[in-house]
Structure 1
């Protein structure tokens, strides 16, 4: 405990003690003599006693305090009351200051909490924006780099309708189908892995309203396709055998050839896609044009996030 008291205060206390002792010794050794007299009722005279300076002063002070004891007590009571009032006022001020400090601390804590929550919200928004930006960038990269596999416009009959009619006229018992040759091509920027290619060719008067895949796969599974390199020619035969009557109906425009199908493939990012196509043969012009609308002509993501099929235009 003494280590916590400054050495200057200890020096001052020692000095005051030494000074008080020296004063007492000086008073006792001085030649001053003081008398204190008391009236004796028996002898009717005053009895006086001689004292040195220090005891004389002590006795006088004691007598004075004894004589004015009531006044001193009253004065002390007043001082104690004033001190108590001052202490109460100081305590009240201290309590008020403490309450204000507590309120200020609570307000500061609330403001700090609001600021922290706002900062967290801003950070969360920034993180969400960064995630969205990363997702947008990923989607954009996937869209830019993914393969696009379609049927090439180079579609042709293996033999003309007139050649098939003439053949059937001479060989009525021979089985003959109308055949179409076509190519598939990757228009994207990365390789495509073909999972399945299915085609059908109908001889119809009207295009079926709903697409039905009834054909068989034309190529094996997992055939790779590089960018811009066509695969083919591949061949698809009509769903029914050709006859002279059927050939005449096609030549007169009563019926026509409708070639359709779908290509299932995936890219290097493991996304899977499905492309549908439909083509109609115009015998007089000897050309194939896209037909069947959005029901037959579309391109869609299959996985990992399936999307509504989107039609494509030629």
Structure 2
């Protein structure tokens, strides 16, 4: 796995070092801060890759068949997209599986759109897990997974043990990041810098760029919720970054459409267009989202997670009745290539 150097870590480290040199804030051990954040992020991202890979091997084929079977009914498709994303812990994996099925003509393009909406709902489950502060028990999961893997005899048992290890590493990485970032709570310059992300457009941009850099919206939300729980990110800033993460997560699925059929490209374009449009609407409603989220919990991290659920569920349900109309619009916007038409004529002839 190639580890990406997260922009947020660079930002926090550079600000802490600069402020320390100027003597404007309490002294921070920059080396300890860097090692804590980078070490935690390394474990976190490795855990995400380990978890996603093992889940895809054990459940990917099963859920691809589920997506194929349920795609004809928009409500069933929405539910299967949600369920698949919760189990596979990645909307990108689910949508890439879907794009593969669309490319192979196993799922009609128009039937794929509700599944994509369901994947957007399913990705909010991991935000709730991160907000429940279960990272305290991460070493138990890692130890149990290692023992299971050592004693397991079948390949299936070893894969399930790997899932447990991956989940433990994800949570343990978040725990390390939160512990390392604690001294920053008393650093006014860093708090002031992070509060600038309350500007919805700045937060949107930061969330999108950081999500593309680490290639996981779930990872981005985990980091945001952890920092918010430590008092480093405010609720409006967290919501703005969440909206940006919704855009950044489209990068993987767009790459997956390269060289594929026109229908597969249309599915990727729909994912981007829906997430981009809903995020831009969300920018206008950050204050309202924050106000509603404030009523749902006391902890800022939990409020961000709840806002994530509210926003994605509302967006999916509002668009669901119009998926057939949107599918027809995309078919007109991106017509079949000439060579595809000629091949179709040849087949009919």
Same fold, TM-score > 0.5, yes or no: no
Q: TM-score, normalised by structure 2?
A: 0.20
Which of the two has greater helix per residue?
A: 2
Report 1 or 2 for greater relative contact order, CA contacts < 8 Å, sequence distance ≥ 6: 2
Which of the two has greater strand per residue?
A: 1
Q: Which one has the largest radius of gyration?
A: 1
Q: TM-score, normalised by structure 1?
A: 0.22
